[in-house]
Structure 1
Amino acid sequence: MFGGRYELRALLGSGGMARVHLAYDTRLGRTVAVKTLLPELARDPEARRRFAREARAAAALNHPGIVTVHDQDEVTTDDAVVPYLVMEHIEGRTLAELAREQAPMEIERAVRTTCEILDALAHAHARGLVHRDVKPSNVLITTGGAVKVADFGIARVVHSLSRITGTGSAIGTPGYMAPEQCAGDSVDARSDVYAVACMLTELLTGTVPFAGATPLSVMYAHVHQTPVAPSARNPLVPPELDAIVLGALSKNPALRPRSAAEMRNALSGWLASRTPPTGPPALPPPPARPPAVPHPAYNPPSFGPPSYPTRPAWDTPVPGPRRRRRGVVAAVTAAVVALLVTVTVLVDPFGDDPKKPVTRTAQDLIAARRPTGGYNGALTGAVNPSTARGGTLRLISAYTPDSLDPARTYSPIVWNLGRLYLRKLVDFAPQPGAAGTRLAPDLATSTGSISDGGRTYTYTLKEGVTFEDGAPITSRDVKYGIERTFARDLYPGGPTHLRDLLDQGQDYPGPYKDTDPDGLGLKSVETPDARTIVFHLDAPFADFPHVLALPMSSPVPKAKDTKERYQDQPVASGPYRIASYDAAAGLRLVRNDKWDPATDAIRTALPDEVELTFAADAAAVDTALTNGTADLDLAQTGLQEATRTRVLADDSLKSRVDLVQTGAVRYFSLQTAVAPLDDYRCRWAVQYATDRSLLRNALGGEDAGDVAGGMLPPTIGGHDRHLDTYGTVSGGSYPEQARRFLGECGRAKGFSTVVAVSGSDPAARKVAQSLAGQLAEVGIKATVQTPDAADFYAALTDQQQIKDKGWGIVLTTWQSDWPSPAGFLRPLLLPDSPSNYAGLDDREINSLMNEADSETARNAADNLWRTVDSTAQDRGTLLPFLYDRRLNYRSDRLTNAYVHPALGGLDIQALGVKG
């Protein structure tokens, strides 16, 4: 009898650290496996601590493809304190035994087995655990044919400060060890991916990629030799499978699949291509997941009391332009690692040495853009690149700006237009594609010097930067512009990001009620001299420079501030100044002759003038564009249906349009406050019953956008194009799965709920009706309600109102203020955020977001946010169905026309016109 409870019956195996016995749990009456640390190791306190860490890490895993850990404890013997853990007992054989008998295996069987292993590893990786010893003997095949990954005994918690193995040591099995593991370097999920590729090679060919007489010779081969394709040893292996395996065997981890899930999806795609479906594919039972309900006993880490703006959705008609419900600053992030202390970051947006000063000219900017043309030409490069100056850029819009005042505007069309006449400390790089998501210095000499563990940002202004009257721009002008956003009585509609981050309990009233003699009393911002400005945060927030790239951080000269009237003619700091503005007549911008291009690495300033006229409606905008009297729709909200049909049918006109990914996502939120959708299984029933392609069709089909599998759109880091949790991205639904989960949540006959959508959006009503029709097929009766926009959005921020109204499903659209996954997802998932319409408070998601916020490496952070997105999909509260696209027209007069990822349309400041 062991531990007073477990009757040891037979020794199943022994390794370098532990023994495993077949045992009988006398308390629960079941057969288990008991793993004990070897006595000689148990005498070492450090070894016991390592063993306990193994147990805690393994016990956190809950996946049908991973051997379950039931219990962990210690017993005292005459010789030592012996730690042990209790695991489920698997009846079956190891994959190593099967490989010895049957390899080379039938190819599709080998791939299917590998996919199941990868699925289990993806679960572990998402929870911060790397196996580090993936090999056939650690994979069990049950008598029923299920695949189970075992022995996370030398796994380590990713990012942990205490390591299970010492620096420079290599633990693992040589035939399956990644090059970095052989070298004793740090490992991550991609090291497990490499090991899986070695296993798959063995299943396909009968041998691992590298073999040798000694372990050292094998490890040397992993580091230095090139693997041969599996087809060289087994001609039946197709080249597509060769490519997947060799990619995962790359020496450089960055060239491998980014995750076990990505490799699994690639192999699954190959399997699907081998066997054309004869009907709807059978989905495996979804893995066991924790219920997506609030955890009353769990107290999330405190980030301080956030303050959020309450804004209408971006597609809600309001007076003035079409506004976006844009992402808000979640409270602030978890602690940033200590390596951030006093790090100066100088970013050249074009990839040069970051230590070199940024000295770019208009010619340099244009030369860095790839020339393109024709239909969709502006998506990947610049149409008609040119350095020619002169002429008038003619803009048109059916919407008047909400305000030209940077403290008041919350309109994307003004944010784009403002790059012509406003400068900030930093701004988005003037390039298409991913390069445009990077920040570049604007008024400042760098993108910021970070100190105090990520809590302090210091900027130095360039020499020679001035306002339109020639007055130098000082650090006090920048601080004053920021302080104006605190005057809520005068500027209630503008973004509150800076107030959220910088007020810090001061309750600062803005400069007009400031008791400081200079009207610069905001304590968290210091201006020690005319060229230095220092921001003190009360906790690290890695996206803070992105906030400074928004118009509200542009400088304002205090002597020229006319308060409410400042929006009529804000003082220019950019290459253009406002010559005239009238909400009826339009806007005219002319050159600011005090602007010095030598200080500006963002703007090319090619046209002599920019004119904006206002049209009666969207149809009038289309007419002006296609007859040549206007060059571009300022709002870039897309051609109307009749115009779109005509343009796409005419090759000449079609060459002037781009189907632009706006960065917006249309989605349904399934409310946790409204029964029975408070039960995750009822939410899964809705997910499986929904054909996302049909929802897109209700908005116009393929031209409306791409079918969405996750919340992160393709314009945001962390987007996973393979994410398809419910198998409904490629079209179709699974009513049998839906009915199964209806039964499991106690609603076998279905239930009734309400689908709520803003009554001001006819297209959204069509989508809601399409969803209701699909749900009816599985017994869910959904009634569509269309309250007016004001009532709709007021209720969304109040879970009690949602519950009282019975709104079980809500249709909205989301787009973030800056293109980062934190800026996009945090407001949707953070507990108590008014944009978390579903009311989800999930322990695992909160922990993952905190970890992602503290990750300073961009690729690593994107991978963590990708996991956040997929985990949120597991919970079933968000049902994204469309990554929005708009068909935008550009005149053939335009030069340097490219779509900017942070702006969702053409970058207006970069445009020139042909003479």
Structure 2
Amino acid sequence: MGIAGVCMLHPSMSDTDHLDADAANSPEDSSEEPTIDRSAEMLRGKPEVPRGPDPMIGRTVGHFKIKRVIGQGGMGAVYEAMQETPRRVVALKMIRAGVTSRSAIRRFQYEVQTLARLRHPGIAQIYEAGMSDQGEGGTPWFAMEYLAGSRILTHYAEDKKLDARQRLALFARVCDAAHHGHQKGIIHRDLKPGNILVTSSGDPKIIDFGVARSTDSDMAVTTLQTDMGALIGTMQYMSPEQCDADPNDIDVRSDVYALGVVLFELLTNTPPYDISNRPIHEAARIVREDAPTKPSTIIRLLRGDIETICLKALEKDRDRRYQSAVELRQDIERYLDNEPITARRPTLTYQLKLLYRRHRAPVVLSIILVILLVLGVAALSVLVSAQAAMNQELHRQVSRSQNVIDSALRMLEPPTNSDVSWGRDVTYETVLDQASSELND
């Protein structure tokens, strides 16, 4: 999650400590209301002023001489420093002593060279990294590219009034940068708008790539060793597997999920989940289980392929997400080029499976009730059919009996046009002969 990244956890820490502090007097910023992510103020050039002189001012760390404090927080501090050769201004991030574990320091020492080799126009360059012993034990530090005048991705899009297609094109460049880090074997773990800056020239830059892994900030989050209110804001961007509190069970698809959240927020100006004012365990449950809001319910114009792309990146099951940031970028580019995207809407069968997983007991009870209802209807139908058949057979038997009775009565009645003289002396033999004669006729 990194020093700049953990500012979401520690409100006094800036997400973009790199920014020029001269913007602190900007009148348009003074009216902004504070939010959970109070580090956004520093993105507008409002670094927190330390209560007393910082003992690091004037010291040299590595090849960098510290000039002033840009931001401070629970995880450490960010300084403006000057590199002697080549001479340039850098953002020097120092982790506070005691924050990092021994395993994290060993991992940091192993990954330093890889972090320094991350060279991509969309990633803030880490010039150098190392360990510093300031009398409190070895602590990691990073000398990073100083991005003066940059703004948070979402703020930049709003300020420039970018339309949906322009935002997608900008975001595709972010995906390309994330994929470069993944190819080097580094997972960011804390991708969010505050860690994606856009320079004054309109170029997006991901900051703190790999810093989270080197500082054990995943564990700091999952063990809740941070400010609770600010943690809720960070959890918006955590993948379901990150919420399962196992930092080792993380791969590039966790970053893909975070990119999906960033894309959702970039397009709608709102997060996909409402976890504000929720307890930590409930917020984690929502991220793990609840379906994200559909972008089209916020902005109807996002219905269709854009919504499908967003929701695929936000799949709970990582096997159903885009498997890499480049796959996400390619689908965005297909949309921009008016070509068919590869993502498909979830099938009804899959949606039912998700419903079963989230609400197993109610679903099982509902299934049982439906089965009983179907069986009851089927049994009733059989009974009704049997009764109808019995009624039909009874009616047939009655009709047949009536016909027999009518035939017998007709045989006993004297024929109206007969040569036989009916009287008291006529025998039944004569009647039967006459009836037989009439039947033969």
Answer whether TM exceeds 0.5 for this pair.
yes
Aligned partner letter, 2:290? Q
1:214 maps to which of 278, 281, 289? 278
Q: Secondary structure at the match of 1:129?
A: coil
2:78 maps to which of 11, 20, 23? 20
> Which residue of structure 1 aligns with residue 149 of structure 2?
92
When the two structures are aligned, how many residues end up with a matched partner?
269
Q: Secondary structure at the match of 1:201?
A: helix
Matches within 5 A, 1:738-887: none
2:316 maps to which of 251, 256, 261? 251
Looking at structure 1, the residues matched to 325 and 93 of structure 2 have their Cα atoms a distance apart, in angstroms, of 27
Aligned-pair distance for 1:77? Answer: 2.3
1:273 aligns with 2:338: yes
> Which residue of structure 2 aligns with residue 203 of structure 1?
266
Looking at structure 1, the residues matched to 272 and 161 of structure 2 have their Cα atoms a distance apart, in angstroms, of 13
Aligned-pair distance for 1:153? Answer: 4.5
Aligned-pair distance for 1:252? Answer: 0.5
CA deviation profile, 1:210-258 (whole Å, cap 9, x unmatched): 1221362332211111112211101222411001111111110011111
Looking at structure 1, the residues matched to 219 and 193 of structure 2 have their Cα atoms a distance apart, in angstroms, of 26
Pick closer, same or farther for the CA change 1:155–1:84 going to 2, 3 Å.
closer
Q: Secondary structure at the match of 2:71?
A: strand
> Which residue of structure 1 aligns with residue 237 of structure 2?
176
1:262 maps to which of 308, 327, 333? 327
Pick closer, same or farther for the CA change 1:231–1:10 going to 2, 3 Å.
farther
Looking at structure 1, the residues matched to 319 and 161 of structure 2 have their Cα atoms a distance apart, in angstroms, of 29
Aligned-pair distance for 1:68? Answer: 1.1
Q: Secondary structure at the match of 2:165?
A: helix
Pick closer, same or farther for the CA change 1:170–1:100 going to 2, 3 Å.
farther
Aligned-pair distance for 1:12? Answer: 2.5
2:117 maps to which of 52, 60, 65? 60
Pick closer, same or farther for the CA change 1:154–1:81 going to 2, 3 Å.
closer
Where structure 1 has 5 or more consecutive residues not aligned to the other structure, the ranges are: 158-162, 275-915
> Which residue of structure 2 aligns with residue 135 of structure 1?
192
Aligned-pair distance for 1:88? Answer: 1.4
Contact 2:212–2:218 (CA under 8 A) maintained in structure 1: no
Contact 2:168–2:332 (CA under 8 A) maintained in structure 1: yes
Aligned partner letter, 1:256? R
Where structure 2 has 5 or more consecutive residues not aligned to the other structure, the ranges are: 1-58, 225-230, 340-441
CA deviation profile, 1:85-143 (whole Å, cap 9, x unmatched): 21111123332561695598521122112111110111111122111110001011111
Looking at structure 1, the residues matched to 279 and 148 of structure 2 have their Cα atoms a distance apart, in angstroms, of 31
CA deviation profile, 1:288-342 (whole Å, cap 9, x unmatched): xxxxxxxxxxxxxxxxxxxxxxxxxxxxxxxxxxxxxxxxxxxxxxxxxxxxxxx
Aligned partner letter, 2:285? Y
2:132 maps to which of 60, 65, 75? 75
Q: Secondary structure at the match of 1:40?
A: coil
Q: Secondary structure at the match of 1:72?
A: strand
CA deviation profile, 1:750-773 (whole Å, cap 9, x unmatched): xxxxxxxxxxxxxxxxxxxxxxxx
Pick closer, same or farther for the CA change 1:18–1:48 going to 2, 3 Å.
farther
Looking at structure 2, the residues matched to 166 and 24 of structure 1 have their Cα atoms a distance apart, in angstroms, of 32
CA deviation profile, 1:718-752 (whole Å, cap 9, x unmatched): xxxxxxxxxxxxxxxxxxxxxxxxxxxxxxxxxxx
Q: Secondary structure at the match of 2:60?
A: coil
Looking at structure 2, the residues matched to 103 and 201 of structure 1 have their Cα atoms a distance apart, in angstroms, of 18
Q: Secondary structure at the match of 1:176?
A: coil
Looking at structure 1, the residues matched to 221 and 198 of structure 2 have their Cα atoms a distance apart, in angstroms, of 34
Contact 1:129–1:155 (CA under 8 A) maintained in structure 2: no
Give RMSD over aligned pairs. 3.0
Q: Secondary structure at the match of 2:147?
A: coil
Contact 2:164–2:267 (CA under 8 A) maintained in structure 1: yes
Q: Secondary structure at the match of 1:151?
A: coil
Aligned partner letter, 1:191? S
Matches within 5 A, 1:452-851: none
CA deviation profile, 1:49-101 (whole Å, cap 9, x unmatched): 34434533422312111111111233332333343221111123332561695
> Which residue of structure 2 aligns with residue 107 of structure 1?
164
Matches within 5 A, 1:148-547: 148-156=205-213, 169=222, 173-185=234-246, 186-212=249-275, 213-214=277-278, 216=280, 217-273=282-338
> Which residue of structure 2 aligns with residue 611 of structure 1?
none
Q: Secondary structure at the match of 1:39?
A: coil
Contact 1:174–1:215 (CA under 8 A) maintained in structure 2: no
CA deviation profile, 1:356-399 (whole Å, cap 9, x unmatched): xxxxxxxxxxxxxxxxxxxxxxxxxxxxxxxxxxxxxxxxxxxx
Looking at structure 2, the residues matched to 168 and 41 of structure 1 have their Cα atoms a distance apart, in angstroms, of 12
Contact 1:96–1:137 (CA under 8 A) maintained in structure 2: yes
> Which residue of structure 1 aligns with residue 93 of structure 2?
35
Looking at structure 2, the residues matched to 167 and 7 of structure 1 have their Cα atoms a distance apart, in angstroms, of 30
Q: Secondary structure at the match of 1:34?
A: strand
**TM-score, structure 1 length as denominator?**
0.28
Aligned partner letter, 1:120? A
Aligned-pair distance for 1:164? Answer: 8.0
More helix by share: 2
Looking at structure 2, the residues matched to 67 and 98 of structure 1 have their Cα atoms a distance apart, in angstroms, of 18
Aligned partner letter, 1:222? V
Q: Secondary structure at the match of 2:132?
A: strand
Aligned partner letter, 1:12? I
Looking at structure 2, the residues matched to 142 and 57 of structure 1 have their Cα atoms a distance apart, in angstroms, of 25
Contact 1:133–1:154 (CA under 8 A) maintained in structure 2: no
Q: Secondary structure at the match of 2:261?
A: helix
Pick closer, same or farther for the CA change 1:100–1:218 going to 2, 3 Å.
farther
Contact 1:50–1:164 (CA under 8 A) maintained in structure 2: no
Pick closer, same or farther for the CA change 1:187–1:170 going to 2, 3 Å.
farther
Looking at structure 2, the residues matched to 77 and 156 of structure 1 have their Cα atoms a distance apart, in angstroms, of 22
> Which residue of structure 2 aligns with residue 580 of structure 1?
none
Pick closer, same or farther for the CA change 1:56–1:128 going to 2, 3 Å.
same
> Which residue of structure 2 aligns with residue 739 of structure 1?
none
Contact 2:154–2:269 (CA under 8 A) maintained in structure 1: no
Contact 2:123–2:209 (CA under 8 A) maintained in structure 1: no
Contact 2:69–2:80 (CA under 8 A) maintained in structure 1: yes
Looking at structure 2, the residues matched to 127 and 223 of structure 1 have their Cα atoms a distance apart, in angstroms, of 28
Looking at structure 2, the residues matched to 120 and 262 of structure 1 have their Cα atoms a distance apart, in angstroms, of 13
Instruction: Report sequence identity in percent.
Output: 32
Aligned partner letter, 2:314? L
Pick closer, same or farther for the CA change 1:97–1:106 going to 2, 3 Å.
closer
